[in-house]
Structure 1
Amino acid sequence: MGAISITGLARSFKGTVAVDAVDLEIADGEFCVLLGPSGCGKTTLLRMLAGLLEPTAGAIAIDGVDITDRPSKDRDIAMVFQSYALYPHLSVYRNLEFPLTQAHKHTGVTLDKAQRRARIEEVAAALDIGHLLDRLPKALSGGQRQRVAVGRALVREPKAFLMDEPLSNLDAALRTQTRQELSALHQRLGATFVYVTHDQVEAMTMATKIVVLNKGRIEQVGTPLDVYDRPASTFVATFIGSPAMNLLPARITDIDGVVRLIGADFAADLWDGRVDEFEALIGARPEHMRVLGHGERGDIELAIQVASVEQLGHETIVYGKAADADVCVRGARTGDIRVGDIVRVGLDLAHLHIFDAATGRRLEWQPDPTDAVEASADPALTY
């Protein structure tokens, strides 16, 4: 078991708040990714879980047992650091064995030599480093060293694995391979993983739960697809996804009982009802906007002047400028669009996101007027 419960956790450094009143539940067996830009507090949060930093406030429990004040050696967790942190004078086998020789200090269980070897060989086989057991770390590639560092955590069979950007020192091809290995390993072990990264691709491909952090606070918690499809704020909308979500300023009002969206050069009816007028940002993923051909229409249409075109072989990405915002459109491969062209792009209401311009928070609404409920007069409330 490795269920982690975090309540009101906070940490300040000389008056600067790094983690601010974080509440989070991580279920046993989840692969939870702490995602956010540099300085958002994700590593500070992980280090408090590991017992390497004392929290300013709040509590941490594993399987219902409060470990807030326990030293790291008594928490039954294993941590993989961004740097490999291997013992350079010990072979791979001895690096993997070292945690097992110390296990009796933490668990009271002593493993004999045969038991240690069996555990090491099992983990080495899982990580494809069995042929490297006699080598010193200096004789290994960066990817091999990182796998040894992961293996040293795995041999202990702790309640939870904590990983602080363990792939950041690897090249692109090796990162892809190691992501797949970690995901497969998590599925085999069924253990709890808490993984820190600023790389959204790592988060989207490995996580069962993503925690998006911004300035020490949680912006959103959800599955990768939840976070991508229903971003809770403009921060999440622009941080998740590459290219980022398009955001266009607009005003929402009602005209003769019809709630209407009005932008600089576009307008659309949303639903029948009443609403106090307020400023909004409408969002659309680049893949949900399309360049309109002759006779094609969209629920929302606008003209953009093309600033650049990226031909990626399997798709074309068009960047342009609308009346009041930059716009990116991602679609099927085409060679018909040139820099400087004026093109019409369209968006269907089914793919529209609406955010309150004042708070940046998501506003829920119904794209089908027949299913819509009357909107609240307060735009900070969900529709």
Structure 2
Amino acid sequence: MHTTVGIIGGGPAGLLLARLLHRSGIDCVVLEGRDRTYVERRQRAGILEQSTVDALRAAGAGARLDREGLAHDGIELRFDRRSCRVDFPSLTGGRRVWVYAQTEVVKDLIALQLKDGPPLLFGAEALAVEDAGTGRPAVRYRHRGREQTLTCDYAVGCDGFHGVARAAVPAGVRRAYERTYPYSWLGVLADVAPSCDELIYAHSPRGFALHSMRSPAVSRLYLQVPNGTDPADWPDERIWDELDARFAVDGDWTLGRGPITAKAVLPMRSHVLEPMRYGRVFLAGDAAHIVPPAGAKGLNLAAADVIVLARALARLRTSGDAGPLDAYSDTCLRRVWRAEHFSYFMTTTLHTAPGQSPFDTRLQLAQLERIASSRHAAAELAENYTGPPLG
């Protein structure tokens, strides 16, 4: 089988790229190693930047998002038993974010792809990307018990950190940058209406906490925990008590409680692989970069990558101009490193490191106080959180 663009990975990045290419008249094939049920239930991010929402609408996948997504005009910071709201539209010229779970984004894109899009093969396990430095890369994959080969003019790895596409960039060419953090997140889903209208990011001597939501009836909450934590060590009552303590402010705010339906521990790290292109093989999303979740950048960076790539391929097809395609890695990496820095800032400002000194805690509080009292500091946070326009 041959196609113009072979896409490895049927997560949000690969599926969005396929839709954008399809609407530009560029044929492609998507290979996804897991089955449809697994892909649609894979819990990940839930915050969408304006540019991501615009791209989903342009791909024809915005109808349910517009009906069910929750538009947010700010976030609340809590520290030292007080709160501060950061208003996005007034600080960014009107930008905002949306709460719409990755599971729902994926469901929407899969439904469109199977209805009228190019081939999407579930259970197609990519084994290797070969001939990456030549004019026609090939993706070896196993589907329905048979090993097959997909040749393509361009191959795109949207298959995550542990996927095969990364290996197509030779060891002597690639450069990897990484930071690990000495804490994780315990994330829970609860069948209870959110106790807030917007996300709450809480700094506490007991550790970080985040209050988010998946819908008007489902809350998504996170607690900073030590690396290696077993979710079984956190019964429901202990989780709610700890959330109560970390969100505490002077006033009458109350945290609603309800049945917890899911628990998982998320390790935290930053990782960037350069370059994001080798020959005719391109990397996008987690295959090229990982950010800690405090900045809400993971899904949005992946979307930005494939938007840039889809535009570059469309430009090549319509005008023969290969300039944007040749600049893909540099273009994406500028945004990636900006997001890495912002995610690092949010993580280190809001979390309490093991053995953290009182001096470091006071530095964190001084930074949070500056955001609360300075429009310039608040605007910088808002501009980074809502994401720069893609142009």
For normalisation by structure 1, the TM-score amounts to 0.22
Bigger helix fraction: 2
Looking at both structures, which has the greater relative contact order when contacts are Cα pairs under 8 Å and sequence separation is at least 6? 2
Larger Rg: 1
For normalisation by structure 2, the TM-score amounts to 0.22
